[in-house]
Amino acid sequence: MLLPDKAEILHLLADEENQDKLFARADKVRQQFVGDNVLLRGLIEFSNICRNNCCYCGIRKDNKRLKRYRMTPEQIVETAKRAVDMGFQTVVLQSGEDMWFNAQRLSAIISEIKKLNVVVTLSIGERSFAEYKAFREAGADRYLLRIETTDKDLYHRLDPGMSWQQRYECLLMIKELGYEVGSGMMVGLPGQSLESVADDLLFLKDLPVDMAGIGPFIPHPETPLAQEKGGTLSLALRTMAVMRLLLPKINIPATTAMEALDPQGRLLALQAGANVVMPNVNEGEFRRLYELYPGKPCLNETPTHCRSCIGLKIKAALGRNCV
């Protein structure tokens, strides 16, 4: 299969008129390389406390209007048990960069969850090599760390106090430690060019990643980017579809942010190259307080309802099974 080069990537990203052809092509590649099953991951958002101040993020440190929460280790393990009882074979532990969860505390949680015979994915941001190593030794299998953008100027403008190089090195450490590596990017950021999106895709291809999530930028009212124009679902879908062409075998989630822009967002993504869905398995208030962007779907559902609803929706609309 001939992979698109940068010129073709740019053309595909810009060509809204013919995007249905691109989606059909990505869907075919998805079917051929990863099959029809939709892989479910149970997402546990266990703390909305973060030491950083990313300008696009609703749980950034300076958002003083957000009620903060931190689940106890017992609550996290209990939630993982419920996820396993619901049939999830992978749990994703996600949080802001909450340093209360040091190597010792988080490793103990991971070890407990691994006793449930489940795959554990971490999505907790930038840590030291020693911490990544401790989590890996405790049994963590995969790590998600989105690079967000490879445009370093844009990154440093939008992620004050952070270093692009440091983030990149974190990805290399994760890879070196034998994690399956997930990364990804945001599209539609203020000041982001299509060329930069093409560079991001090529960066993910070269790393290479085992999983890549593409999220549209959605302005959050309590952030410095509140007044900016958001990214569009169609550009996010085209970006995701090109990702599928570049890395046919990886896992690509139909992201919740896509559903925030369109009630059918995840179904559309599953027809344009995606093969993973990550339903939230948190209960009640914790579901609502992890607000990275506004309009997050299913905030008032119970995890059990959410799990069965998404499975039924996918089966009815696409005839595909969730596993």
Q: Which residues form the interface with ligand SF4 (CB under 6 A)?
A: 50, 52, 54, 57, 59-60, 96-97, 125
Cis peptide before 248 (omega within 30 of 0): no
Q: Which is nearer to ligand SF4, 224 or 248 (CB)?
A: 224
Q: How far is the CB of 48 from ligand SF4 (least distance, A)?
A: 8
Nearest alpha carbon to residue 230 among 56, 106, 90, 53 = 56
Q: Which is nearer to ligand SF4, 52 or 111 (CB)?
A: 52
Q: Which is nearer to ligand SF4, 92 or 245 (CB)?
A: 92
Q: How far is the CB of 97 from ligand SF4 (least distance, A)?
A: 5
Q: Which is nearer to ligand SF4, 57 or 197 (CB)?
A: 57
Cis peptide before 4 (omega within 30 of 0): no
Cβ(42)–Cβ(286) below 8 Å: no
Q: Which is nearer to ligand SF4, 42 or 96 (CB)?
A: 96
Cβ(131)–Cβ(102) below 8 Å: yes
Q: How far is the CB of 60 from ligand SF4 (least distance, A)?
A: 4
Q: Which is nearer to ligand SF4, 161 or 284 (CB)?
A: 161
Per-residue tokens: 192: 């982001």
Q: How far is the CB of 124 from ligand SF4 (least distance, A)?
A: 9
SS3 assignment, position 216? strand
DSSP string, 14-62: H--TTHHHHHHHHHHHHHHHH-SPBEE-EEEEEE---S---TT-TT-TT
Per-residue tokens: 179: 């994690």
Cβ(52)–Cβ(60) below 8 Å: yes
Q: How far is the CB of 57 from ligand SF4 (least distance, A)?
A: 3
Q: What is the CA radius of gyration of the chain?
A: 18
Q: How far is the CB of 54 from ligand SF4 (least distance, A)?
A: 3
Facing residues of 47 across strands? Answer: 70, 95
Facing residues of 92 across strands? Answer: 43, 121
Per-residue tokens: 52: 């950083």
Q: Which is nearer to ligand SF4, 54 or 276 (CB)?
A: 54
What is the DSSP-derived secondary structure letter of residue 67?
P
Place of tokens 């370093």: 152
φ/ψ region of 148 (left if φ > 0, alpha if ψ in -120 to 50, else beta) reads left
Q: Which is nearer to ligand SF4, 59 or 245 (CB)?
A: 59
Give 70's contacts (C-beta < 8 A, 6+ positions apart): 46, 47, 49, 98, 100
Q: How far is the CB of 63 from ligand SF4 (least distance, A)?
A: 9
Q: How far is the CB of 261 from ligand SF4 (least distance, A)?
A: 18
- Cα 201 to Cα 192, 194, 237, 302, distances in angstroms: 13, 11, 13, 35
Q: Which is nearer to ligand SF4, 60 or 244 (CB)?
A: 60
Q: How far is the CB of 297 from ligand SF4 (least distance, A)?
A: 19
- Kindly tell me the sign of the dihedral angle through the C-alpha atoms of 69, 75, 78, 80: positive
